[in-house]
Amino acid sequence: MQLPSLIEVEAAAAVIRPWVPPTPQYAWPLLSARVGCEVWVKHENHTAIGAFKVRGGFYYLHRLRTQSRAVAGLIGATRGNHGQSLALAGREHGVPVSIVVPHGNSREKNAAMRAFGATLIEHGEDYEAARLHAFDLAASRHLEFVPSFHRDLVCGVATYALEFLRSAPALHTVYCAIGMGSGICGLVLVRDALGLETEIVGVVAQGAPAYAFSFARGTVVSTDSAQTLADGVACRVPDPEAFAIIRRGVSRILTVSDDEIADAMRACYTDMHQVAEGAGAIALAGLLRERDRHQGRRAGVILSGGNIDIDAYQKILAR
């Protein structure tokens, strides 16, 4: 895939701004003290769906409209944030949206997607099973299938990286979650387009290590399962185009445990008074793992989402 240009990302920022105003980036003193260096946090948990994905959804629908593609509706698969993004953007643009989620998906994310107007379909035990079912339904119901990784989605979500890297002071390293890859690929795109030396580090969960295995072996590697409290990064089949971008633009990929993710979620609450879902806090878990590398430097983390069921969050905070 040929990545969008900086001009395209700037144009995408203007397109989505009525629905997605720039999110803040702050250096929180307590968090910096915990890590031992100046840490800047990009607050993508402050969007209308509480996650960065909303940027991609609105830009995808904009492109659909400008290309005059008539569709009966859109369908996609998700653990929550991609689906919320499509549902909200579809509602604003008058396009019906169906979303397939695996059984046992977050109740509150499901409720949010329905509230935005999506038709919810439950199928399979994980994201990959839901994705395959959504692809089949797209053909049988004459809907447009929207994957979690697509050029227009990357262009839209890259707008968060443009805001962050232009507004925060020069950052030595930025840590970013890897789910299906749009968030970190947008970060790579903007870093390179701005000509910055910033190192980018990807972070995955120990229970969903497909991208880490792929990075280590230099080729796409799938896993049989993806079980982690960070459901937003529960990927077991990496996207080949995303992997190609990650392989050439990311310094390394860290694998962190669910306990480390939970520690980072608690740190987000105690140090910043921010609610972070597992996938939202996993970047901080990576930075905390490597805190000794950054003494005297300036680091960044992407707090990519804050959508977590209250019961699960209470248990994590209570530990």
Residues 119 and 252 in one domain: no
Residues 242 and 158 in one domain: yes
Residues 206 and 300 in one domain: yes
Kind plus residue range of the DSSP H or E element containing 233: none
What single letter denotes the amino acid at residue 12?
A
Sequence-distant (6+) residues with CB within 8 A of 25 are 40, 41, 42, 43, 163, 164, 167, 168, 300
The pLDDT tens digits of the residues spanning 219-246 come to 999 999 899 999 999 999 999 999 999 9
pLDDT, residue 211, reads 98
* 176 found inside a domain: yes
pLDDT, residue 123, reads 97
Residues 211 and 173 in one domain: yes
Residues 139 and 190 in one domain: no
Q: What is the CATH number of the domain that holds 211?
A: 3.40.50.1100
For residues 130 and 124, the answer to whether their CB atoms sit within 8 Å is yes
Q: Write down the residue that tokens 């019906």 correspond to.
A: 96
Domain boundary among 77, 110, 145: 145
The pLDDT tens digits of the residues spanning 131-178 come to 999 999 999 999 999 999 999 999 999 999 999 999 999 999 999 999
Sheet of strand 97-101: strand arrangement: 119-122, 97-101, 74-77, 144-145
pTM of the full structure: 0.96
CA 202 from centroid of its chain's CA atoms: 12
pLDDT, residue 225, reads 87
Distance between CA atoms of residues 183 and 81, nearest Å: 12
Total domains in the fold of the chain: 2
Residues 220 and 230 in one domain: yes
Percent of the chain at pLDDT exceeding 70? 100
pLDDT, residue 98, reads 98
Residues 180 and 270 in one domain: yes
> Residue 239: which domain range?
6-52+151-318
Phi/psi for 96 (5° steps) reads -65, 140
Residues 163 and 265 in one domain: yes
- In the structure, what pLDDT confidence band is assigned to residue 2 with cuts at 50, 70 and 90? confident
Q: What is the mean pLDDT of residues 201-225?
A: 97
Look at phi and psi of residue 20 and say left if phi exceeds 0, alpha if psi is from -120 to 50, else beta.
Answer: beta
Distance between CA atoms of residues 205 and 208, nearest Å: 5
* 1 found inside a domain: no
- In the structure, what pLDDT confidence band is assigned to residue 70 with cuts at 50, 70 and 90? confident
- In the structure, what pLDDT confidence band is assigned to residue 309 with cuts at 50, 70 and 90? very high
The pLDDT tens digits of the residues spanning 18-38 come to 999 999 999 999 999 999 999
Domain boundary among 102, 119, 145: 145
Domain boundary among 97, 118, 145: 145
Sequence-distant (6+) residues with CB within 8 A of 185 are 3, 149, 154, 158, 242, 245, 246, 249
Percent of the chain at pLDDT exceeding 90? 96
* 112 found inside a domain: yes
